[in-house]
Chain A
Amino acid sequence: MLGRAWRVAATGFVFILFGVGALIISATLFPVLRLLAGSAARARLRIQRAMQLTFKGYVLLMRLLGLLSYEVHGVERLWVPGRLIIANHPTLIDVVFMVSLMPRVDCIVKEGLFRHPFLRWPVIWASYIPNSTGEALVRDCAATLKRGNSLLVFPEGTRSVPGQPLRMQRGAAHIALASGAPILPVTITVTEPTLTKGHPWYRVPRARPHFCIKVGEPWSPSVYNPAGETGALAARRLTEFFGEYYAAVEADNVRWGLLDR
């Protein structure tokens, strides 16, 4: 068992590497990939693939440094295109895990990134979607799903508050209803609260956290929205269903003792 001091130092190192690394590859690797790709469509695929490999590298590094361990179930279901992938959001690094598992996926990123002098280019080239106002965001997200791409959304919109029921926003449901895409639910369970909302990174958990990422079975639109509804009430019902699903998974985790390893 590696000591806590080691994990604090290693976490700090990974944080710095993440920040500096993002700037460096945005100014070097990504522009080269963009130039060599020629067309914007091919660039998008290559940049998304490069994002996956970069994030895979970070996950591997964190594991090698003894910061975490992880297991993934049903990963191949993430590789079917045209799905709306929803996941709960316990930690800061959920998106790193999720992107590391998918060679191709569209993501929603902070609008501010699109004004960053370096980081704007990779997110533009990857055709990631800015988290603009509700209506425009739903429209952009539904459009990419209709073109047959997969999209990753955290329906909570931000990290969960530890110890409280998940608070889902309704944007993900609106996107599902507007696109008619199959929904693929992913559950991220962590044995130790780590990198949670409002906790500084240097307050590392007492033991090394274990991440369990479970990809569920897809929900077809004929099941989650048989009447083909859209609008405020349909979005409310689907959002409630998301909440019930994650609450049920959580209850199972407690029942089967998945949380105490």
Chain B
Amino acid sequence: MTKTREQVFAHLRDTLVELFEIDADKISPDANLYTDLDIDSIDAVDLVLKLKEFTGQKIQPQQFKHVRTVNDVVDAVMAILANVK
């Protein structure tokens, strides 16, 4: 099943709310994970674990190395999903 960007974004937003109780209104595509959403490196490990479940794929840490914003995460997840097929 292919997923659209919108679906990935919505899932990511729900995940961030569930994992870290971040205010959903603050989660915009341009929001910076570190400065705007207060996600630290330890949180990032939890987030990647959740995304691993979501994609059903192994995720290499370097795939998320340059991630800064919510949009970057969506891009990274889209890239992983595109590689599946």
Range, interface on chain A: 10 to 19
A216 to chain B, nearest CB (A): 26
Judged by a CB distance under 8 angstroms, whether A5 is at the interface is no
A143 to chain B, nearest CB (A): 16
Given A135-B45, A231-B46, A232-B46, does the pair A169, B21 have CB atoms closer than 8 Å? no
Judged by a CB distance under 8 angstroms, whether A82 is at the interface is no
Q: Mark B7-30, 1 if CB is under 8 A from A, else 0.
A: 000000000000111000000000
**A135–B20 CA distance with the chains assembled, in angstroms:** 17
B42 and A138: CB pair below 8 A? yes
A91-124 interface with B by 8 A CB criterion = none
Judged by a CB distance under 8 angstroms, whether B43 is at the interface is yes
Write out the residue numbers on chain B whose beta carbons fall within 8 Å of the beta carbon of A135: 41-42, 45
Q: Of A170, A231, A233, which is within 8 A of B40 by CB?
A: A170
A191 to chain B, nearest CB (A): 32
8 sample A-B contacts, Cβ–Cβ < 8 Å, listed by A number: A134-B40, A134-B44, A134-B45, A170-B42, A171-B42, A174-B42, A232-B19, A232-B42
**A65–B45 CA distance with the chains assembled, in angstroms:** 48
Write out the residue numbers on chain B whose beta carbons fall within 8 Å of the beta carbon of A134: 40-42, 44-45
**A170–B45 CA distance with the chains assembled, in angstroms:** 14
**A236–B38 CA distance with the chains assembled, in angstroms:** 10
B42 and A236: CB pair below 8 A? no
**A235–B20 CA distance with the chains assembled, in angstroms:** 10
Which residues in B have some Cβ–Cβ distance to A below 8 Å? 19-21, 40-46
**A227–B19 CA distance with the chains assembled, in angstroms:** 18
Residue of A133, A135, A232, A233 most packed against chain B (CB within 10 A): A232
Q: Mark A224-242, 1 if CB is under 8 A from B, else 0.
A: 0000000111011000000
A236 and B45: CB pair below 8 A? no
Given A170-B43, A171-B40, 10 new contacts (CB under 8 A)? A134-B44, A135-B41, A135-B45, A174-B42, A232-B20, A232-B42, A232-B46, A235-B42, A236-B20, A236-B21
Write out the residue numbers on chain A whose beta carbons fall within 8 Å of the beta carbon of B21: 233, 236
Write out the residue numbers on chain B whose beta carbons fall within 8 Å of the beta carbon of A236: 20-21
CB closest chain-B residue, reference A157: B40
Write out the residue numbers on chain B whose beta carbons fall within 8 Å of the beta carbon of A138: 42
A133 and B19: CB pair below 8 A? no
Write out the residue numbers on chain B whose beta carbons fall within 8 Å of the beta carbon of A170: 40, 42-43
A215 to chain B, nearest CB (A): 28
CB closest chain-B residue, reference A133: B41
B36 to chain A, nearest CB (A): 15
Q: Mark A220-261, 1 if CB is under 8 A from B, else 0.
A: 000000000001110110000000000000000000000000
